[in-house]
Chains A and B, each alone.
Chain A
């Protein structure tokens, strides 16, 4: 089946474009800004872009897994915010030890992922509606639990991932390394392991996957739960980045994570795409935002360009599908 799929790939120019298009876009963006500002291509500035995409980047890994199964998760950012409030409140206000507080935060986000997965697989509800519901539930719990107040004065250890180390003359945030390692792991699992191939198979054609003996519901459930774990890690990164537990965090990430995945060339219809593409997608947005500010141009244009690129990406995917049939 794998060989067959690749044979199709090669026969289809648009599909190839779908795969390398995002990279070309990122490259072109870099070239553009490099010629516009001499501050863009400094180690420090590129490091800043990476630290600015690390939260949405990690969320986007979970989102990619879900979208590969032809699902979607609208609740990702809000669930992350809940995780962040749980871990900061436990550690800063209730005196729970930092590792335990972090584990509890990740536990809560995992629980939410698991809940999404259960509703999707056991009751067969559409992921869009399920996660629209859990988005609101997670938001309300976050506001109620935090009393709509930002949690401050966190123990030092909680911000450890926000600290930096030096590579050459550039300081790099620890959290960025966490993000890159997670991407490498996810890419390896998806490409090289049976479980990874099952995710693609389920998204491509759930019926065919079931007939070849793949436990489709179990794969989907595992994907949602794993996404929950990743949201928890993103929560920790977000806490480390801002130094506070912010009950209003995550609301832009809900859709930004989906944007990154789509810009990275992963198909919203499932079964096609790469997790590294999502990193490229997140970077495109981050580079635009950063570069425009360096040029002194309002960052609203970044939102405009992102919108256009999303439609281009989806259109390329859709046209390539039509071509394949």
Chain B
């Protein structure tokens, strides 16, 4: 144990002569689920610009992989140690992060959830996120219209068991399609008889492809595919194409990434519900800046909007075209 003690003492000695190089701008933190996902890269970019415009210094952190709660707790502690007054976070685990957020708030730090709610929602000061139920409803309405008079045989490629975002999109889709659907607050996946096959994709292209392949084995006459996000949709399309079934199937998704919009343009995906990570970041930073200036804390849920982007518009369903979708997409344009 002598080693660390010695190091500690040397550190202290050095501190006495160490000059502070830190700028005295107020600090705002952003913790994303991972460092690499284009959605969060775009969010970070938006936060960086908004912070600069508000005269704040942005520091960022992330979990090491999707689902890494301990990494986010560590990042949160370090940001508070760095003097952050406001921390925005896209939580990896809606429940597991709650005690750490409570501790941060007890120290007077304002915690703003972006993109994904905490469980309970009021564990964070405020939430800026997509209304995922509405995102699902939009693509459900579109799929119903695009299918025309045919009887629906639906596949759903979902997120993972027990995830609220996955449940809201799935159930919203059913509702929009005009099927029996659980309400928004319900986190169990609805399964009316029109849904002939369900698989968990974990939002991953490879798993989406595997799920679609399995469902095609089970029901070769599928005509509607709902996917949790665009990478999953890309995997599903690959499986459909390999089976020669890509023509008669309406494939819908959620996200609005640039690759996803390109897939809408090429016709692989019929329509997608686009969400806006930059807007989440901008609103979060603005609320943080207001708190630092005036002491007024942000509160409640703010819908950051969602728009249906479709290759072919359908009568009675409001949608925007691919060019509009490309303008506000995230990822490589």
Measuring CB to CB, which residues of chain A are less than 8 angstroms from any residue of chain B? 23, 26-27, 30-31, 34-41, 44-46, 48, 51-52, 55, 147-150, 152, 180, 183-184, 187, 238, 241-244, 246, 248-249, 251-252, 276, 279-280, 283, 289-290, 293-294, 296, 298-300, 303
With known contacts A27-B7, A35-B21, A152–B98 Cβ distance under 8 A? yes
The smallest C-beta distance from B233 to any residue of chain A, in angstroms, reads: 24
Which residues of chain B are within 8 angstroms of A152 by Cβ–Cβ distance?
Answer: 95-96, 98
Which residues of chain B are within 8 angstroms of A52 by Cβ–Cβ distance?
Answer: 74, 77-78
Known: A34-B14, A241-B70, A248-B96. 5 other contacts (CB 8 A): A30-B10, A41-B15, A242-B69, A276-B1, A293-B78
B285 proximal to A (CB < 8 A) = no
In the bound complex, do residue A290 and residue B81 qualify as a contact, i.e. CB atoms below 8 Å apart? Answer: yes
Q: Which of B240-294 contact A (CB under 8 A)?
A: none
Which residue of A has the minimal Cβ distance to B2? Answer: A276
Max chain A Cβ within 10 angstroms of own Cβ: one of B3, B19, B27: B3
Dominant secondary structure of chain A at its interface with chain B = helix
In the bound complex, do residue A34 and residue B162 qualify as a contact, i.e. CB atoms below 8 Å apart? Answer: no
Measuring CB to CB, which residues of chain B are less than 8 angstroms from any residue of chain A? 1, 3-4, 6-8, 10-12, 14-15, 18-22, 27, 35, 57-62, 64-65, 67-71, 73-75, 77-79, 81-83, 92-93, 95-96, 98-100, 160-162
A-B contact pairs, 22 of them (CB 8 A): A26-B4, A41-B11, A51-B77, A148-B161, A152-B98, A241-B70, A242-B73, A242-B100, A243-B98, A244-B69, A244-B96, A244-B98, A246-B96, A251-B65, A289-B78, A293-B59, A294-B81, A294-B82, A296-B58, A296-B59, A298-B61, A299-B61
Which residues of chain A are within 8 angstroms of B162 by Cβ–Cβ distance?
Answer: 147-149
Max chain B Cβ within 10 angstroms of own Cβ: one of A45, A152, A184, A248: A248
In the bound complex, do residue A294 and residue B78 qualify as a contact, i.e. CB atoms below 8 Å apart? Answer: yes
In the bound complex, do residue B95 and residue A150 qualify as a contact, i.e. CB atoms below 8 Å apart? Answer: yes
Number of A-B contacts (CB under 8 A): 144
A72 vs B18: C-alpha distance in the bound complex, in angstroms?
A: 41
In the bound complex, do residue A39 and residue B22 qualify as a contact, i.e. CB atoms below 8 Å apart? Answer: yes
A55 vs B69: C-alpha distance in the bound complex, in angstroms?
A: 14
Name the contact of A293 in the complex, choosing from B21, B82, B92, B99 (C-beta under 8 A): B82
In the bound complex, do residue B64 and residue A279 qualify as a contact, i.e. CB atoms below 8 Å apart? Answer: no
A283 vs B65: C-alpha distance in the bound complex, in angstroms?
A: 21
Which residue of B has the minimal Cβ distance to A238? Answer: B70
List the 6 closest pairs (A to B, CB-CB), nearest first.
A243-B99, A41-B15, A38-B20, A293-B78, A30-B11, A150-B95
Which residues of chain A are within 8 angstroms of B70 by Cβ–Cβ distance?
Answer: 55, 238, 241-242, 246, 249, 252
Which residues of chain B are within 8 angstroms of A46 by Cβ–Cβ distance?
Answer: 8, 11
A190 vs B259: C-alpha distance in the bound complex, in angstroms?
A: 56
A131 vs B48: C-alpha distance in the bound complex, in angstroms?
A: 43
Which residues of chain A are within 8 angstroms of B161 by Cβ–Cβ distance?
Answer: 148
The smallest C-beta distance from B90 to any residue of chain A, in angstroms, reads: 16
The smallest C-beta distance from B83 to any residue of chain A, in angstroms, reads: 6
The smallest C-beta distance from B23 to any residue of chain A, in angstroms, reads: 9
In the bound complex, do residue B68 and residue A31 qualify as a contact, i.e. CB atoms below 8 Å apart? Answer: no
In the bound complex, do residue A31 and residue B14 qualify as a contact, i.e. CB atoms below 8 Å apart? Answer: yes
In the bound complex, do residue B67 and residue A293 qualify as a contact, i.e. CB atoms below 8 Å apart? Answer: no
A148 vs B93: C-alpha distance in the bound complex, in angstroms?
A: 11
A300 vs B44: C-alpha distance in the bound complex, in angstroms?
A: 14
Which residues of chain A are within 8 angstroms of B57 by Cβ–Cβ distance?
Answer: 296
A48 vs B20: C-alpha distance in the bound complex, in angstroms?
A: 20
In the bound complex, do residue B22 and residue A150 qualify as a contact, i.e. CB atoms below 8 Å apart? Answer: no
In the bound complex, do residue A41 and residue B77 qualify as a contact, i.e. CB atoms below 8 Å apart? Answer: no
Which residues of chain B are within 8 angstroms of A238 by Cβ–Cβ distance?
Answer: 70
